[in-house]
C-alpha cells in the first residue's frame, strides 16, 4: 500500500457509494413564539443528490420525518 492508497475496506472519496446518506437536525427555541420549538432537517438519500430542507415547529413531526428517512434507508438499494 502506498500513501495514496486508501486503507482496505475504505472507499475512494471519488467513488459514489449508494449506501451513503446524510440527515442533519438543527433545533432551537424562539421564546417569543408559541410554541417556541423550531427544527430544520436537511437530508439526502444519496451522495450525488441535492439536499432537501424541511422546517417545523412540531417535535412529533421531526420524529415522523426521521422515521420516514430511516425507513427509506433500510429499503433494498435501488439500481443494484
Domain residue spans of the chain:
47-75
Q: How far apart are CA 18 and CA 55, in angstroms?
A: 26
Average pLDDT, integer, range 5-15? 46
The tens digit of pLDDT for each residue in 19-36 reads 678 999 999 999 998 889
Query: Which cell numbers in the block locate residue 31?
Result: 421564546
Angle (CA) 37-45-11 rounded to 5° is 125
**DSSP code at position 28:** E
pLDDT recorded at residue 11: 46
Binned at pLDDT 50, 70 and 90, residue 78 comes out as low
Assessment of whether the complete model's pTM goes beyond 0.75: no
The tens digit of pLDDT for each residue in 17-76 reads 556 789 999 999 999 988 899 999 999 877 888 999 999 999 999 999 999 989 888 866
Amino acid at each position: 500500500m502506498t500513501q495514496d492508497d486508501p486503507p482496505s475496506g475504505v472507499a475512494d472519496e471519488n467513488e459514489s457509494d449508494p449506501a451513503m446518506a446524510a440527515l442533519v437536525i438543527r433545533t432551537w427555541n424562539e421564546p417569543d413564539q408559541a410554541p417556541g420549538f423550531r427544527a430544520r432537517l436537511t437530508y439526502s438519500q444519496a451522495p450525488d443528490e441535492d439536499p432537501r430542507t424541511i422546517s417545523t415547529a412540531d417535535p412529533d413531526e421531526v420524529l415522523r420525518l426521521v422515521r420516514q428517512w430511516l425507513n427509506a434507508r433500510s429499503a433494498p438499494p435501488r439500481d443494484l
